[in-house]
Copies of this chain bind each other. A is one copy, B any other.
Amino acid sequence: MSTGGGRNRGRGMDPIRVGICGFGTVGSGTFTVLRRNRADIAARVGRDVLVTHIGARRDNPRCDTAGARVSRDVFEVVRDPEVDIVVELIGGCDTARALVMEAIAAGKHVVTANKALIAEHGNEIFAAASARGVSVAFEAAVGGGIPIIKAIREGLAANRIEWVAGIINGTGNYILSEMREKGRSFAAALADAQALGYAEADPTFDVEGIDAAHKLVILASLAFGIPLQFDKVYTEGIGALAQEDLAYADELGYRVKHLGICRRTAEGIELRVHPTLIPDDRLIANVNGVMNAILVKGDAVGPTLYYGPGAGSEPTASSVVADIVDVARTLTADPEHRVPHLAFQPDRLSGEAVLPISAVRTSYYLRVAALDRPGVLWRVAQILSEAGISIEALIQKEAPEGQETATMILLTSVTVESRMSEAIAAIEALDSTRGRVTRIRMEKLEG
């Protein structure tokens, strides 16, 4: 049985025995990659890495699991004394949490791709793991195959991180790319994504930004050394975006991306997921389709960007296996000298407050529908001016032939969200405007 606490396994000659719990897309990908690249991986680790036990409710017809024990009960894997590392790929929170906690209690190291589990229960899980002297690795939880956790936690360890902004949901990015490039509606682009297998039958988690919020919480914790605080994320989805807003953004030299953003400010930490206008000459503005990209601003390094496939069987397996390799290296290591789960030592996490969205400062894209008559722009400009907000760019579209409602697009200076909300309420209350004002936040994402 593995104890995880530093037992010397005979000068590194024994194979590392991996148990996989959950054998769907990522589980079978992990098995396949470990088997196909077995020689290369062994040459990197210095030990063979073998999948000795698979826990799955049913067989995966795409995978020949010959050589591995298969159990219908995933807990059998955790209870297998021959397993060194438990890989949790069943998803969801309830069973996954019980499984991971039992693995930790049994002194096993854990690798997981489960962003919801880490975002919502990570504090408890990491505390248990640290107490038991085992590692819980979760590279695959954010950015699929992009080694972004390692980059922030280790590669940028010199830096005080200022902000992170990422396209961290491939489904959402695919939908926005289709809407912009092909002029499709949100509903049509979503249907395409479902037909192609990029979106689930129930697309809520992707479209409403919950998946991105889970990932953002993890990134923010690594970047700023704060505990995981899923309940503090402001989350806005892409379901309300109109195709015309993407087109107006284009006209003004911007792209609309669904970003997860966290930023350290003097007042507190911003933690938010929402559609965002970004200048079209930024590299991240040109990340299209299902690809992910994360832009990180450090005080020493400046901006760095990490790009790659954010989901899929083998891309996600790439990160799972990288974690297995990392964990394999810690099997004999002094637990006190491992990389801390959340980048900072657990007793050095910061209690810095997360700001409510009303206290966040950004610039804005506003679309106002108004009667096509003189003086309306003047009234809108007056409301903004009285709130201390200036207009940086403007498009006015006359009312189409036979209609009385014209469209006004405004790009504003930076202001605090609460003030903008008041100004928008005042604009909506004007006799000459019609309906709700569309508001999309803007970020320059400057290096």
Residues of A within 8 A of B (CB): 8, 11-12, 29, 33-34, 36-37, 40-46, 139, 145-147, 150-151, 154-160, 225, 283, 286-287, 298-309, 312, 314-315, 317-322, 325-326, 328-334, 336-340, 343-345, 348, 447
Which residues of chain B come closer than 8 Å to A334, judged between CB atoms? 8, 332-333
Residues A156 and B318 in contact, CB atoms below 8 Å apart:
yes
Which residues of chain B come closer than 8 Å to A315, judged between CB atoms? 300-302
Residues B309 and A306 in contact, CB atoms below 8 Å apart:
no
Query: Which residue of B has the minimal Cβ distance to A295?
Result: B307
CA distance in complex: A150, B154 (Å): 9
CA distance in complex: A329, B334 (Å): 9
A-B contact pairs, 23 of them (CB 8 A): A33-B159, A34-B158, A36-B299, A37-B299, A40-B344, A42-B348, A44-B157, A44-B343, A46-B345, A145-B300, A147-B150, A147-B154, A147-B156, A150-B154, A158-B321, A300-B315, A300-B318, A303-B308, A305-B307, A306-B306, A329-B338, A329-B339, A333-B334
Query: Which residue of B has the minimal Cβ distance to A151?
Result: B147
Which residues of chain B come closer than 8 Å to A301, judged between CB atoms? 145, 308-309, 314-315, 318-319
Residue among A8, A11, A158, A331 having the largest count of chain B Cβ atoms under 10 Å: A158
CA distance in complex: A160, B38 (Å): 10
Which residues of chain B come closer than 8 Å to A145, judged between CB atoms? 298, 300-302, 304
Within the complex, what minimum Cβ distance (angstroms) separates A95 from chain B? 26
Within the complex, what minimum Cβ distance (angstroms) separates A189 from chain B? 20
Within the complex, what minimum Cβ distance (angstroms) separates A12 from chain B? 5
Query: Which residue of B has the minimal Cβ distance to A302?
Result: B309
Which residues of chain B come closer than 8 Å to A34, judged between CB atoms? 158
Assuming the contacts A44-B344, A318-B298, A343-B44, asked whether A304 and B146 have C-beta atoms less than 8 A apart, the reply is: yes
Which residues of chain B come closer than 8 Å to A340, judged between CB atoms? 44, 46
Assuming the contacts A43-B225, A307-B307, A344-B44, asked whether A314 and B336 have C-beta atoms less than 8 A apart, the reply is: no
Residue among A300, A317, A322, A336 having the largest count of chain B Cβ atoms under 10 Å: A300
Residues B331 and A337 in contact, CB atoms below 8 Å apart:
yes
Within the complex, what minimum Cβ distance (angstroms) separates A201 from chain B? 25
Which residues of chain B come closer than 8 Å to A146, judged between CB atoms? 304
Partner of A154, one of B12, B305, B314, B325: B325
Within the complex, what minimum Cβ distance (angstroms) separates A47 from chain B? 9
